[in-house]
């Protein structure tokens, strides 16, 4: 006989149902086209449960973005996650760039639709615009740390005179949801092909 679920586990599953419902609806109907009532109906919970759990639709979107990027709800910073530590600790610069592209691909495989919702909603909602800017800043900070590691591995020299900041700008652009969305979502590239293109592009731009 299966053990009864604890209250905490029931709450976790309910929260996840609401996040899954929001992800589906935001992707299908857009930010403005989705209401809290829609999310509650799809998740099969009361409207007040959504408000009690998240506060409002914006906070729900923020949590959805955080969990989509991280892949879980654990409060672990990106640079403290195993894949990021592997990027930094990898001694070969070419392999480091391949690991960066692989890490970005795995994140974007699950998070690209949510990132697209946030980017689209930012044009009409100042608070979500601030969330989008914060997301870009966070991604740039991660790429800056990776760039610092790359410069060390190349003896302080990158192609075209790039430094830490410009290398981070380049990786932010190549590995961003914009290029992934254009090539994979719109043009039909496989994620693997995008990852290979990104790895090659970064090597051509940055390695001496």
Q: What percent of the chain has pLDDT over 90?
A: 94
Task: Pick out the chain residues at pLDDT < 50.
Answer: 1
Cα–Cα distance for residue pair 158/208, rounded to 1 Å: 5
- Are residues 93 and 150 in contact, defined by beta-carbon separation less than 8 angstroms? yes
Rg (CA), the chain: 19
- Are residues 94 and 203 in contact, defined by beta-carbon separation less than 8 angstroms? yes
- Are residues 77 and 142 in contact, defined by beta-carbon separation less than 8 angstroms? no
Token pair 């652009």 is found at: 173
- 1-55: CATH number: 1.10.10.60
pLDDT at 1: 44
> Which residues make Cβ contacts (< 8 Å) with residue 178, sequence separation at least 6?
none
Burial of residue 133 (number of CB atoms within 10 Å: 0-12, 13-18, 19+): exposed
Cα–Cα distance for residue pair 195/197, rounded to 1 Å: 5
Residues found in the chain: 208
DSSP 59-105: HHHHHHHHHHHHSSS----GGGSHHHHHHHH-S-HHHHHHHHHHHHH
Predicted TM-score (pTM) of the model is 0.91
pLDDT at 3: 61
pLDDT at 5: 78
For residue 1, the SS3 value is coil
> Which residues make Cβ contacts (< 8 Å) with residue 124, sequence separation at least 6?
31, 32
- Are residues 113 and 25 in contact, defined by beta-carbon separation less than 8 angstroms? no
């Amino acid at each position: 006989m299966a053990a009864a679920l604890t209250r905490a586990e029931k709450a976790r599953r309910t929260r996840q149902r609401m996040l899954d419902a929001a992800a589906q609806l935001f992707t299908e109907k857009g930010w403005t086209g989705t209401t809290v009532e829609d999310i509650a109906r799809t998740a099969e919970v009361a409207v007040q449960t959504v408000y009690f759990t998240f506060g409002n639709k914006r906070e729900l979107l923020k949590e959805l973005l955080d969990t989509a990027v991280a892949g879980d709800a654990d409060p672990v910073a990106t640079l403290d996650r195993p894949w990021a530590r592997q990027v930094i600790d990898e001694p070969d610069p070419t392999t480091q760039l391949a690991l960066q592209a692989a890490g970005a691909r795995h994140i974007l495989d699950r998070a690209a639709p949510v990132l697209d919702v946030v980017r689209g909603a930012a044009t009409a909602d100042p608070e979500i615009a601030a969330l989008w800017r914060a997301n870009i800043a966070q991604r740039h900070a991660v790429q800056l740390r990776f760039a610092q590691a790359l410069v060390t591995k190349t003896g302080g020299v990158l192609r075209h005179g790039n430094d830490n900041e410009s290398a981070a700008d380049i990786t932010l652009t190549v590995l961003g949801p914009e290029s992934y969305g254009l090539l994979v979502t719109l043009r039909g590239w496989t994620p693997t092909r995008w990852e290979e293109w990104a790895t090659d592009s970064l090597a051509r731009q940055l390695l001496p």
